Chain A
Amino acid sequence: MLTIQFNGQPTSVPEGTTIEELIQSAGIPSRFCAVERNLEIVPKNRYAITTVEENDSIEVVTLVGGG
């Protein structure tokens, strides 16, 4: 298992987990989100081929109401 920071929370995931699997397992609809891995944006077409590594910091953001 790997330990990553997932939206600020320490999270254990199996080795080889892709961004796509991570988003799916969290129940997040990827239509409305963007992903940042270690401060770099991961383009949507790379979710399925980008695997997370030990100590990665992953942020998944969406749009919310704001002014």
Chain B
Amino acid sequence: MVASSEPVPDKLLKIGTHTLDSRLIVGTGKYETLDGMRASLLASHSRCVTVAIRRERLYDGQGKNLLDFIDLDRYTLLPNTAGCYNAIDAVRVARLGREILKTLENPGFDWVKLEVLGDSKTLLPDPLATLEACSRLVDDGFQVLCYTSDDPIMAVRLKAAGATAVMPAGSPIGSGQGILNPNNLRIILEYLKSDDPDYPVIVDAGVGSASDVSIAFELGADGVLLNTAIAHARDPVMMASAMHHATLAGRQSFLAGRIPKRLYAQASSPEEGLITSRPHPSAGSD
């Protein structure tokens, strides 16, 4: 029998009413060119991309708009509230995003990546304003994917407030430091999934390289959202491909079930039938 190189079957990532073919969500910001962005999105195999809402400026010299480079039949758009520092602004921006996506007839019109920042240097979330905005948006009918820190108690509060998914940061936005506190992420996953194993927890922010993505999935995250790690890589398209493979590798590694870590070695070759003798008995054995 020929071994298949295809990935093992995995259930699709379900976030509220949305089902995604890839567990990787990628941003569309910071690319040097829109052509480069389009190629990178393709290489990432992602089917969901984040977008920001900003004042309309006149077309650039070439008459290009972001949406001319995003295949709306392929990608579900996930509008964000990036740049908001209070709940009122976040709700405003979310509603404007919904209005645009409705016009585009994109399925992403009813969800939002909620991001309410507390400080422009760290870009860490303001927990009080985030919780307030989350409640308001849930009341307004949004499916809220909520960016937060890696604080387990805050994650529980956001889920209780009706967030469709909680998205803890691995490390500060754009910092490329990876997952700084895997133990907090473990606790978040345990708490949020205790009554619903399929409740989506998505690591959002901080990814620097492909191994960070695999680690997130090995910890049990349902998805990873990243932008800068691809957009600012020396070769964004190659990095996007690496992120895709890291997603598959990390997820499969999680599903396959890793061996426990042990302090001492365990021989891989049989002990029996050795023609050699041990040089010294180990301390504590024999």
Contacts and interface: CB of A to CB of B under 8 A. Distances in A.
B65 interface: yes
B29 A65 contact: yes
B82 A63 contact: no
Interface in A42-67: 43-44, 59-67
Given A39-B92, A41-B95, A67-B29, A60 B55 contact: yes
Most buried by A among B29, B59, B66, B99: B99
A34 B225 CA distance: 26
A34 B100 CA distance: 5
A62 to B, nearest CB: 4
B233 to A, nearest CB: 14
A63 B80 CA distance: 10
A33 B37 CA distance: 21
Interface residues of B, number: 37
A66 B55 contact: no
B28 to A, nearest CB: 4
B55 A67 contact: no
Given A61-B53, A61-B56, A67 B65 contact: no
B52 interface: yes
B52 A64 contact: yes
Interface in A9-38: 26-29, 31-34, 36
25 contacts: A8-B55, A27-B58, A32-B104, A34-B103, A41-B96, A60-B55, A62-B54, A62-B56, A63-B79, A64-B53, A64-B66, A65-B28, A65-B30, A65-B31, A65-B37, A65-B51, A65-B52, A66-B27, A66-B28, A66-B80, A67-B50, A67-B52, A67-B80, A67-B205, A67-B225
